[in-house]
Amino acid sequence: MKLRLAVLIGLAAALAAPAGDKKVPDVLNFKMKDINGKEVDLSRYQGKVVMFVNVASQCGYTKQYAGLEKLYEKYKDKGFVLVGVPANNFGAQEPGSDAEIKEFCSTKFGVKFDMMSKVSVDGDDTCPLYKFLTSKETDPKHAGPVKWNFEKFLISKDGQVVERFRSAVKPEDKQLTEAIEREVAK
């Protein structure tokens, strides 16, 4: 009963907040499908430090799933969100269905961080989020095509792309963890 009351109070407070109270940052102004096929409004990550990672199950970097899960577990209570974005663009290393990807990630690596439905992150059919992340018009500092699986884009609490890490940068790499720590501390 207390939980239901708390949910209702939270809902009432959200409805009572003035419209346009906080503008959604452009990088989070997209909708995607999650790994279960449900629509996700990325604005739900507003005010959090977010890392988007394009992932693949049959890549030499696939073992990074374990490190990504550790990152997520370490920083999730500090306002950090990790979002896996499966893509089959490089070497056809993510051929599975969403259900197969979900099963693989949960059983092999115990992934609990958010996973999206498989999309394209490179080429003519690039999904809108990755068009934004790689565009010189929207992000001149970190622009350029995704070159391989497991590239990481770090987004600040105010919705700025603050870092981009190429595939070879492991989740436990000092420069990556220091960047996360710097952002969650703000």
Are 149 and 55 contacting, i.e. CB atoms less than 8 angstroms apart? yes
Query: Of 46, 31, 81, whose CA–CA distance to 159 is shortest?
Result: 46
> Helices (DSSP H) in 17-127: which residue ranges?
64-75, 98-109
Is 59 in the active site? yes
Active-site option among 32, 51, 59, 179 = 59
Cβ burial 40-57 (10 Å sphere, 16+ → b, else e): bebbebbebbbbbbbbbb
Q: What is the enclosing helix (H) or strand (E) of 165? A: strand 161-165
Are 22 and 28 contacting, i.e. CB atoms less than 8 angstroms apart? no
Query: Of 71, 60, 66, 55, whose CA–CA distance to 117 is shortest?
Result: 55
Residues known to be catalytic: 59
